Chains A and B, each alone.
Chain A
Amino acid sequence: MKKYLRPGNFLIAAVLAWAGWLLFDWAVLQAVFRPDAAACHALQGNGACWGVVTEKFRVILFGRYPLDQQWRPLVALLLMFGLLGASAMPRCHGKRLFTAWGVGLLLVLLLLKGGLFGLDNVDTPRWGGLPLTLLLTLFGLGGAFPLAVLLALGRNGRLPVLRSLCTTFIEIIRGVPLVAVLFMAAFMFPLFMPKGWEFPALLRVLVGIILFAAAYMAEVIRGGLLAISRGQHEAAQALGLSYWQVQLTVVLPQTLRNVLPSLMNSAIALFKDTSLVIIVGLFELTGALGLAVDGDPKWRAFALDGYLFIAFIYWLGCFAMSRYSRALERLI
């Protein structure tokens, strides 16, 4: 008898199939998809009320962005998906991908902000929803990664002043929760600024996110640095390579390959942590859902269905990131 044909396995399969059927029944067969609150109430919990998403999808996906301009965040979103998709295909890898990212992200900012080429100016406090979540994640990672490499090298290096500076920075940032960092960036930072110096809240929290993510990623990378044996440094130095040549050609390529799964871990955490920016009044995906349902007595009873919907979006994002990391590991 083959291993998988044991009766226990049939039992498990039957239970799983039954649970799957119940879920399918609840989420699809019994569910209400049209924006009809009365029909949702009539379900009495026997089916999902996706009507809340149909009714509120504009606010959920794009937050406070002006209604008649929402094609702009949509195009920006597609652009970011396109870039992410291209990055997942090995044949697109190369210097041109970097250029594409640079140009693409600039276009995204231009589209969202406007003020040029006849596009209406839309201030950053009105950006929101899924495009904002992605934007914070991408810029957060893009800023945090180089900083993390420098911090890790600094902490691992021989210069005592630099080393203690890097260590202090990492330990302070890691010692406080992200909410505290964002709170400082949002409310304390403007108080220390001279009058007339104003930075938009989006920029302030982005800097906060970058510093926070960099501190964590720096420790991940330092772990990788420690795994490279002393002998490799010495051999490279004996060949006459400078400090930066040693790091860039010998140490970092090996390090980054080894720490890739942990780095992706940080990236996934960052993707989900962006939901905390609600405390500074930026309505990314989670905040936008609250904005959409909390103040509406007609729909607030179905907020949970709305949360399930965005949970699915988060899951898709995280799952894609995890698959991408696996593919990258095989590639290098």
Chain B
Amino acid sequence: MRKLLPSLLLSIATLCVALPAHAGKTVDAIRARGQLACGVSTGVAGFSAADSKGEWRGMDVDVCRALAAAVLKDPTKVRWSPLTSQQRFTALQSGEIDILSRNTTWTLGRDAGQGLVYAGYVFIDGQGFLVHKRSGVTSAKQLNGAEICVQTGTTTERNLAEYARANKIQFKTLMFENLRAVLKAFFSGRCQAFTADASALASIRANDSGKPEDYVVLPDRISKEPLGPVVRRGDEDWFSIVRWTVFALLEAEERGITQANVDLIRDSTSDPAVMRLLGVSEDVGKPLALDKEWVYRMIKAVGNYGEIFERNVGPNSLLQLPRGINALPRDGGVMYSPPLR
């Protein structure tokens, strides 16, 4: 026994050295469950919404699918939890979900004070104004004294008040409980402008106005709303996987790797960066305790960042959003990815 113990310890020690980097407790839990528990919204067009067959669609949804493809090798192995904005953080804190991917704005208070941490951003939004074109208004500052329709219960109200104070102008705000009521009020002319996140305004102009050409979204953005996935604090391994998943999707777009050509590129490329990314040469999955082909599987499942954007919110989708600030740096946007090596 006295002889056995040291040799046993030694063998355990060698085993530990030989094992790849450990994946962390969240990944262990996901693998044991066989499903990624992903918190989404109860229905925000373009970001996370159930279609007519109950399938989830949207940018935030695709982030979770990509993660499932990376970690579980199957983009369909996701357990969706539709959450209201009141429930979302509790669900993450309590461990009910592994990741909150639900158009949630990254702020200091949320990132540092609640046991949560943002793994990056996938879409940058900002609060704007929708006005009737016939009013001739071209800038938010011309709305001094105007009646503005606002939906209650979000930070929209507060942003509006802060903007008014900072610019020494005054608004008359008309509050409404739900979106349908605000839309009715705005389109019937009860208020001169409707304020909400610009992405929502664009989709409302395109789909709910009846005549998109009669309405304009003003260029002003009165708030910063970087939306991104959130995870629990205290599991850096899982945090890194989520963060680098987003980066890998961006990197794939930068390198021109799409869902359609990923196989072809993998077989024919001689670009060292692409070979690394798709796991042909080096293993970029190792530091994350993932396998070589994790990026390949993600691209195969949901496409690169640009494709995700186009499919869900881009000019040809129902939301009809321009790429704008969400473009890659070479196209004038801020979606920058550090090198995957």
Chain A residues within 8 Å of B, Cβ to Cβ: 35, 41, 55-56, 58-59, 62-67, 125, 187, 190, 278-281, 283, 287, 290-298, 300-301, 303-304
Select one of B42, B80, B90, B207 contacting A301, CB under 8 A: B207
On whether the beta carbons of A300 and B53 are closer than 8 Å, the reply is no
In Å, the complex CA distance between A321 and B83 comes to 33
B106 smallest CB distance to A (angstroms): 22
A55 to B318, Cβ gap below 8 A? no
Which residues does chain B contribute within 8 Å of A295, judged by CB atoms?
41-45, 48-50, 58
What per-residue 1/0 map shows which CB atoms of B72-108 lie under 8 Å from chain A? 0000000011111011001000100000000000000
- The reply to whether B82 and A283 contact each other, CB–CB distance below 8 Å, is yes
Q: Judge whether B51 is part of the interface by a CB distance below 8 angstroms.
A: yes
On whether the beta carbons of A294 and B42 are closer than 8 Å, the reply is yes
Query: Quick check: A67 and B318 within 8 Å, CB to CB?
Result: no
A-B contact count (CB 8 A): 85
Whole-angstrom distance between the alpha carbons of A56 and B90 in the complex?
30
Q: Contacts A281-B84, A291-B43 given: A304-B318 contact, CB under 8 Å?
A: no
Cβ of B113 within 8 Å of any chain A Cβ, yes or no, is no
- The residue in chain B whose Cβ has the minimal distance to the Cβ of A279 is B84
Measured CB to CB, the closest approach of chain A to B126, in angstroms, equals 20
The answer to whether A298 touches B53 (Cβ under 8 A) is: no
| B319 interface residue per 8 A CB criterion | yes
When distances are taken between beta carbons in the complex, the residues of chain B under 8 Å from A35 are 52
Other A-B pairs beyond A59-B50, A67-B54, A296-B51, 6, CB < 8 Å: A59-B52, A66-B54, A287-B42, A291-B42, A296-B52, A300-B207
Contact B54–A294 (Cβ < 8 Å): no
Contact of A303 with B180 in the complex, beta carbons under 8 Å: yes
Q: Does B206 contact A (CB under 8 A)?
A: yes
A283 CA / B44 CA spacing, docked (Å): 16
Residues in A whose Cβ lies below 8 Å from that of B179: 294, 300
- Asked if A67 and B49 make an inter-chain contact with CB atoms under 8 angstroms apart, the answer reads no
Partner of A298, one of B43, B180, B318: B318
B208 on the interface (CB 8 Å rule)? yes
Residue B326, interface by CB 8 Å = no
In the bound complex, do residue A41 and residue B210 qualify as a contact, i.e. CB atoms below 8 Å apart?
yes
C-alpha spacing A326/B81, complex, angstroms: 42
Q: A281 near B83 (CB under 8 angstroms)? A: yes
Closest 4 CB pairs between A and B? A295-B49, A295-B43, A294-B43, A297-B207
A107 CB to nearest B CB, Å = 24
Q: Is B304 an interface residue (CB 8 A)?
A: no
State which of B52, B80, B207 has its C-beta within 8 Å of the C-beta of A292. B52
Contact B203 A297 (CB under 8 A): yes
Distance in angstroms between the alpha carbons of A187 and B51 in the assembled complex: 28
Interface SS of chain A: helix
Q: Mark B103-132, 1 if CB is under 8 A from A, else 0.
A: 000000000000000000000000000000
Residues of B at the A interface (CB closer than 8 Å) are 41-45, 48-55, 58, 80-84, 86-87, 90, 94, 179-180, 203-204, 206-208, 210, 318-319
Which residues of chain A are within 8 angstroms of B51 by Cβ–Cβ distance?
Answer: 296
Chain A residues lying within 8 Å of B208, measured Cβ to Cβ, are: 297, 300-301
B90 lies within 8 A of A297 (CB): no
Q: Write out the residue numbers on chain A whose beta carbons fall within 8 Å of the beta carbon of B206.
A: 297
B50 engages A304 (CB within 8 Å):
no
Q: Which residue of A lies closest to B94 (CB)?
A: A190
| Of the residues A41, A64, A187, A298, contact of B82 by C-beta under 8 Å | A64
* B87 closest partner in A (C-beta): A281
16 inter-chain pairs at a CB distance below 8 angstroms, sorted by A residue, are A41-B210, A58-B54, A59-B52, A64-B50, A67-B55, A281-B84, A290-B42, A294-B44, A294-B179, A295-B41, A295-B42, A295-B49, A296-B43, A296-B49, A297-B204, A300-B208
Task: Report B12 CB to chain A, min CB distance, Å.
Answer: 28
Query: How many angstroms between the C-alpha atoms of A308 and B317 in the bound complex?
Result: 29
Which residues of chain B come closer than 8 Å to A297, judged between CB atoms?
45, 203-204, 206-208, 318-319
Name the distance in Å between B158's Cβ and chain A's nearest Cβ: 23
With a cutoff of 8 Å between Cβ atoms, the chain A residues found around residue B203 in the complex are 297
In whole Å, how far is A202's beta carbon from the nearest beta carbon of chain B?
14
- The distance from the CB of A297 to the nearest CB of chain B, in whole angstroms, is 4
Rounded to whole angstroms, the CA-CA distance of A65 and B55 in the bound complex is: 11
**Beyond A291-B82, A297-B318, A298-B318, is A67–B53 a contact (Cβ under 8 Å)?**
yes
The interface residues of chain B lying within 8 Å CB-to-CB of A55 are 52
Least CB separation from B204: chain A residue:
A297
CA distance A65 to B54 in the complex (A): 8
The verdict on A58 contacting B207 (CB below 8 Å), with A64-B82, A290-B42, A295-B41 known, is no
Q: CA A283 – CA B84 in complex, angstroms?
A: 12
Do B180 and A304 have beta carbons less than 8 Å apart? Answer: yes
Chain B residues, CB < 8 A from A64: 50, 54, 80, 82
Do B54 and A281 have beta carbons less than 8 Å apart? no
Q: Is the CB of A58 within 8 A of B45?
A: no
Q: By the criterion CB–CB under 8 Å, are A58 and B53 in contact? A: yes
User: Would you give the shortest CB distance from A12 to chain B, in whole angstroms?
Assistant: 33
**Contact flag A59-B81 (CB < 8 Å), given A295-B44, A297-B318:** no
What is the bound-complex CA distance between A117 and B12, given in angstroms? 44
